[in-house]
Structure 1
């Protein structure tokens, strides 16, 4: 089993788990009733594999969330170093690594435009109430949240919470509170794309009151030997990449201007499964998108420059 650190998001996380279960149950029912051909569903959607993995993970997560937690003795509060300011609790959840890997694979399939018509039909016409795009995004965010790499900060918090027990209130030390602030920034980047309103609930007021400064962007999570880069394709597209020394890319995704030219611009972030790792490797970028809400590609380019991204010039091209 693997122990992951998750925020108590009340009903939010449980609602998403329920919606994803409805989606995967759609595929299972179609399969059992013979509405899809053998082999038509890609792994791990086929044979209820992803559904059963999600159900096991959900059973472990649900009891740590919202009103359910105190009922089962897992409702300990998390308090700031002053002992008075209550923080959003973090919960320790034991999940099987194989199930985490299965859900990550399912998220990649759901987001793959070449996965097949049956996958698209399930997203658009299945039992879930969320939109197909919303389900794909939430599946990717759940996989990123469960697969978030451990840091010294998260290990420190896990140790503190494990020593106290799930029902006990925990008062953090000043150092542990700093670790909490850095950790919840990463968690918020995964689950809420860095939404500042959501981040505020974790205790930004306390951080501001104590004068803690914003840390510099951390690019150390990028794949070894790569650097953050981007390429501007005039007039309506920016490619964001983790670039290797030979010029190839570990991943890349696109931000496109899809406006009709009538008023302002409409920017769309297009991340296929090959680039899902970007959610965990450059969370500061997605946090900046959420907080600044750029309307123009020039603003996106400025965010990338702030993060130290290198502007690549296509062969035979010239800088804009």
Structure 2
């Protein structure tokens, strides 16, 4: 997992085999909370699974986790994604700002991040598994418990809202590449760390279109102003 905000371009525009380069917006840590809740859920499931294997009960059925929850497969992917995403959130100004043409105003920072494609697929599959209506009731209760411990944005929706946040994050990470995203990735890769990135008019237009797409996924189209401050 490679962060490429500055001065260290990858080999051309292509990511290594099995990986993809995506744009990640600094949302002041919003995507990290559901991911950390998911990590705790998967750690608990892994412990339950281990306990059943070490101490099988004669009169109880062992816990059977659906893919990709079983065997800590999803947990490993989530931990890799968390490790990659955390540095992109709540970035310090010394790392460089993302500015509109002529520095008229500041955008929320963006990072070009190279991630394993399989991990993004696993995040999507994990969200689907946890949202399945036929999910084991014990697992559903566990998910609901951690969902209620999140901030106010998730309390009202419980498990449903947590699953929705995870699915929307997977959608952001799986955003289809376009000429706009490729233009922005190239610019971010070639901007030295600690240097402000002042977008050209063409890059600003690409940013606006890309931010609109991201808003549709993450914020239900609440408006591009979400990415300006």
TM range (shorter): 0.7 to 0.9
Per the alignment, residue 86 of structure 2 pairs with 62
Q: For 2:89 and 2:123, how far apart are their aligned partners in 1?
A: 20
Q: CA offset at residue 101 of structure 1?
A: 1.1
Q: For 2:145 and 2:103, how far apart are their aligned partners in 1?
A: 49
Q: CA offset at residue 113 of structure 1?
A: 0.9
Q: For 2:61 and 2:222, how far apart are their aligned partners in 1?
A: 42
Per the alignment, residue 29 of structure 2 pairs with 11
More helix by share: 2
Distance 1:127 1:175, change over 3 A: closer
Scaled by the length of structure 1, the TM-score of the pair is 0.57
- Judge conservation of contact 1:40–1:118 (CA < 8 Å) in 2: no
Per the alignment, residue 310 of structure 1 pairs with none
Per the alignment, residue 3 of structure 2 pairs with none
Per the alignment, residue 190 of structure 1 pairs with 217
Could you give the per-residue CA deviations for residues 232-267 of structure 1, whole angstroms, max 9, x where no partner exists? xxxxxxxxxxxxxxxxxxxxxxxxxxxxxxxxxxxx
Q: Which runs of 5+ in 1 are unaligned?
A: 206-320
- Judge conservation of contact 1:26–1:126 (CA < 8 Å) in 2: no
Aligned: 1:150 with 2:177: yes
Alignment of 1:1-320 (within 5 A): 1-34=19-52, 38=62, 40-67=64-91, 75-126=95-146, 129-130=149-150, 131-196=158-223, 199-203=224-228
Scaled by the length of structure 2, the TM-score of the pair is 0.78
Distance 1:122 1:171, change over 3 A: same
Distance 1:135 1:26, change over 3 A: farther
Q: Which runs of 5+ in 2 are unaligned?
A: 1-18, 151-157
Q: For 1:104 and 1:168, how far apart are their aligned partners in 2?
A: 34
Q: For 2:194 and 2:214, how far apart are their aligned partners in 1?
A: 22
Q: For 2:148 and 2:21, how far apart are their aligned partners in 1?
A: 29
Instruction: For residue 21 of structure 2, give the secondary structure of its aligned residue in structure 1.
Output: strand
Say which one has the larger Rg: 1
Q: For 2:193 and 2:88, how far apart are their aligned partners in 1?
A: 9
More strand by share: 1
Q: CA offset at residue 187 of structure 1?
A: 0.9
> Displaced runs of 4+ in structure 1, greater than 3 A?
35-39, 125-128
Q: Which has the higher contact order (CA 8 A, sep 6+)?
A: 2
Instruction: For residue 88 of structure 2, give the secondary structure of its aligned residue in structure 1.
Output: coil
Q: For 1:155 and 1:116, how far apart are their aligned partners in 2?
A: 42
